[in-house]
Amino acid sequence: MNGMASNHNNSSQKEYLPHYLQREDPFASKLSREADIIAGFYLTVIGILSTLGNGYVIFMSSKRKKKLRPAEIMTVNLAVCDLGISVVGKPFSIISFFSHRWVFGWMGCRWYGWAGFFFGCGSLITMTAVSLDRYLKICHLSYGTWLKRHHAFICLAIIWTYATFWATVPFAGVGSYAPEPFGTSCTLDWWLAQASVAGQAFILSILFFCLLFPTAVIVFSYVKIILKVKSSTKEVAHYDTRIQNSHILEMKLTKVAMLICAGFLIAWIPYAVVSVWSAFGHPDSVPIQFSVIPTLLAKSAAMYNPIIYQVIDCKFVCCRSGGLKTLQKKSSLKKSR
């Protein structure tokens, strides 16, 4: 019975044809022309806002690059990843949506898929490193004081190497990049899991090392931080002003990191669910009109980060200026007395 079941599974895997092999033209849009135009305008707005926002973060950070803290260096790296997605990737999909088909062929499809996966993986691993930095700074002060700027640059080298490895592995014959079901964008070939056991192993490796494990580290870090902050708030109130100001700055950086991670995961989780379903469920059961929505939502993730960073930063500056005014009033009262 087991042998018959395995034979049946093997035969079903051999019989399965992914969507891009079922049609003569895999790059023709499966959406209406009106839907493609709307998606094209949407991505144009997202691309412009993302480019301006992340470019601004990088420009402002370059003016004080020697004073950047490790967590801020990671934030700049995140802006570089998001800017890369906007500049390198979005023009391909925007042109294709307006053209009502993917116009760059298989080579362009593989390049677009690689770039999206490379910068997306780089963003997630950067946020994982930021969450660990926040966890060590808040929950383990001895390790937190040990982390310096050169450790941040070593971490950046590891992040880029990690992202390059996993984005390039498909070109070694293990996986591939393929057009999306709606035709005007490309992604990792999730449908390989339907074709062979090797494809399943590849997709499971990608899911674990590029999604599940980093997400688990992020969730663990911020849960521990929240618990630590709740227990230490009263203790910090008894310290002097210098320690309190340092604590406020660390919490500001932690809030930025938490919101950025939350925005990234909210944007990417629907796409991840649809991709996993395409890999291990019934891919043809996902309506094509529905499959485009998580893709567009994921592409908007690069726009949120500079907005979050600037809002929290402005709020922090206002609070800090208010605190300075209070200190100035106290000093003037002492002088008058």
Q: Please give the pLDDT value at position 89.
A: 87
Is 139 part of a structural domain of the chain?
yes
Q: Is residue 192 in some structural domain?
A: yes
| Per-residue model confidence (pLDDT) at position 246 | 61
The verdict on residue 10 lying in a domain is no
CATH number where 55 lies: 1.20.1070.10
Does residue 336 form part of some domain?
no
Q: What is the pLDDT of residue 249?
A: 64
Classify residue 311: in a domain, yes or no. yes
Confidence (pLDDT) at 98: 96
Residue pLDDT, tens place only, 93-115: 999 999 999 999 999 999 999 99
Q: Is residue 96 part of a domain?
A: yes
Q: Three-state secondary structure along the chain?
A: CHHHHHHHHHHHHHHCCCHHHHCCCCCECCCCHHHHHHHHHHHHHHHHHHHHHHHHHHHHHHCCHHHCCHHHHHHHHHHHHHHHHHHHHHHHHHHHHHHCECCCHHHHHHHHHHHHHHHHHHHHHHHHHHHHHHHHHHHCHHHHHHCCHHHHHHHHHHHHHHHHHHHHHHHHCCCCEEECCCCCCEEECHHHHHCCHHHHHHHHHHHHHHHHHHHHHHHHHHHHHHHHHHHHHHHHCCCCHHHHHHHHHHHHHHHHHHHHHHHHHHHHHHHHHHHHHHHHCCHHHCCHHHHHHHHHHHHCHHHHHHHHHHHHHHHHHHHHHHHHHHHHHHHHHHHHC
Q: What is the pLDDT of residue 310?
A: 62
**Is residue 159 one of the residues assigned to a domain?**
yes
25 within some domain: no
Structure confidence by residue, pLDDT tens digits, 47-85: 999 999 999 889 988 888 888 888 788 888 999 999 999
- Quote the pLDDT of residue 67: 82
Q: What is the pLDDT of residue 15?
A: 62
Res 337: pLDDT: 35
Dist. CA 77–CA 71, nearest whole Å: 10
Residue 313: per-residue pLDDT: 55
Stretches where the chain sits below pLDDT 70 are: 1-16, 144-145, 232-250, 253, 309-337
The domain in which residue 159 lies consists of: 33-317
Domains identified in the chain, total number: 1
